[in-house]
Amino acid sequence: MNFRIAALLIGLAPSCPADASDPPIRLATGKQTVYRIVLPDAPSEPERHAAEELAAFLKQSTGAEFPVVGESGAGDGPAILVGWGARAKALATSWKPAQFGAEEFVIETHPPHLVLAGGSPRGTLYAVYTFLEENVGCRWFSSQFSVVPTHPDLSVKPLRDHRRPAFEYREPFAFDSFDGDWAVRNKCNGHAARLDAARGGQITYQGFVHTFLSLVPPDEFFAEHPEYFSEIDGKRVRDHGQLCLTHPDLPGVVADRVIALLKDAPQSTIVSVSQNDWAGWCQCERCRKAADAEGGVSSPLIAFVNAVAARVGKVRPDVAIDTLAYQQSRRPPRTAKPLPNVIVRLCSIECSFSKPLGAADSGPNLAFARDIEGWSKLCQRLYIWDYVTNFAHYVQPHPNFRVLRPNLEYFAKNGVKGVFEQGSYQSPGGEFQEMRSWVLAKLLWDPTADADKLVNEFLTGYYGAAAPKIREYFDLMHDAVAKSGDELGCYSPSTARFLSKENLLKAESLLGEAALIATATGDKNLGNRAMREILPVWYVMLTREAEFARMDVRESRAPVANSRRDRFFECAGPGMTHVSEGRTLDDFRRSLPSSPRRRAVATAPPGCGNPPGPAWLDFQDDGFNLAKPGEWANLEADPAASDGVAARMPGNHNEWAVQLPLDAPALAKNPDRKWHISVAVRVERAGGEGIAFTYGIYDHETRKGLGGGSVKASDTGNGTYQLYDLGIHTASPGRTLWVAPAANAANAPAIWVDRFILRAAEE
What average pLDDT does the segment 173-190 reach? 98
Q: Read off the pLDDT of each residue in 223-249 and give the average, rounded to a whole number.
A: 97
Residue 94 has pLDDT above 90, yes or no: yes
- Rounded to 10 degrees, the C-alpha dihedral 103/109/110/113 comes to 90
pLDDT category of residue 644 using cuts at 50, 70 and 90 = confident
Average pLDDT for 651-680: 89
Q: Nearest Cα to 83, choosing from 123, 130, 135?
A: 123
Q: What's residue 280's pLDDT?
A: 95
Asked if pLDDT for residue 484 goes beyond 50, the answer is yes
Spatial distance between the Cα atoms of 393 and 679, rounded to a whole number of angstroms: 26
749-753: average pLDDT: 97
**By three-state DSSP, how is residue 165 classified?**
coil
**Alpha helices in 37-110, H assignment, sequence order:** 45-62, 86-91
Q: pLDDT (tens digit, 9 = 90+) per residue, 108-143?
A: 999 999 999 999 999 999 999 999 999 999 999 999
Q: Among 33-47, 426-440, 521-535, 544-558, whose mean pLDDT is lowest? A: 544-558
Q: What does the pLDDT read at residue 11? A: 41
pLDDT at 610 over 80: no
Looking at residue 142, its pLDDT comes to 98
Encode pLDDT of 58-76 as tens digits.
Answer: 999 999 999 999 999 888 8
> Is pLDDT above 90 for 500?
yes
Per-residue pLDDT, averaged over 365-383, amounts to 96
Does residue 354 register a pLDDT over 80? yes
Specify the pLDDT at position 559.
43
Q: Does position 2 have pLDDT exceeding 50, yes or no? A: no
Structural contact between residues 442 and 449, judged by C-beta atoms closer than 8 angstroms: yes
Q: Which of 38-42, 431-435, 580-584 has the lowest mean pLDDT?
A: 580-584
User: What was the pLDDT predicted at 595?
Assistant: 62
361 pLDDT higher than 90: no
**CB distance 403 to 355 below 8 Å:** yes
Q: CA 191 to CA 72: how far, in whole Å?
A: 37
Split at pLDDT 50, 70, 90, the class of 410 is: very high
Indicate whether 4 pLDDT > 50: no
What is the b/e burial string over 251-269, where b = at least 16 CB atoms within 10 angstroms of the residue's CB? Answer: bebbbebbbebbeeeeebb
pLDDT at 553: 45
437 pLDDT more than 60: yes
Q: What is the mean pLDDT of residues 559-565?
A: 65
Instruction: Give the residues across from 648 on adjacent strands.
Output: 634, 752
Start-to-end Cα distance in the chain: 57
In terms of Cα–Cα distance, which of 604, 620, 704 is closest to 658? 620
Contact (Cβ atoms closer than 8 angstroms) between residue 172 and residue 218: no
pLDDT band at 363 (very low <50, low <70, confident <90, very high): confident
Residue 708's region, left for phi above 0, alpha for psi from -120 to 50, else beta, is left
Q: Which of the pair, 188 or 554, is modelled with greater confidence? A: 188
CATH class of the domain at 3-164: alpha beta
- Mean pLDDT of all residues in the chain? 92
Q: Percent of the chain, pLDDT > 70? A: 93
What's the CA gap between 25 and 116, in Å, rounded? 14
Q: What residue spans define the domains of the chain? A: 3-164, 166-203+348-568, 205-322, 593-763
Distance between CA atoms of residues 357 and 407, nearest Å: 6
CATH class of 593-763: mainly beta
Alpha helices, H only, 447-492: 451-463, 467-484
Q: What is the mean pLDDT of residues 238-246?
A: 96
pLDDT band at 12 (very low <50, low <70, confident <90, very high): very low
- pLDDT number for residue 673: 87
Q: What's the pLDDT band for 599 if we cut at 50, 70, 90?
A: low
pLDDT of residue 642: 87
pLDDT at 3: 28
| Amino acid present at 754 | D
591 pLDDT band, cuts 50/70/90, is: confident
pLDDT (mean) for 568-594: 88
597 pLDDT tier (thresholds 50, 70, 90)? low
Check residue 611 and give its pLDDT. 67
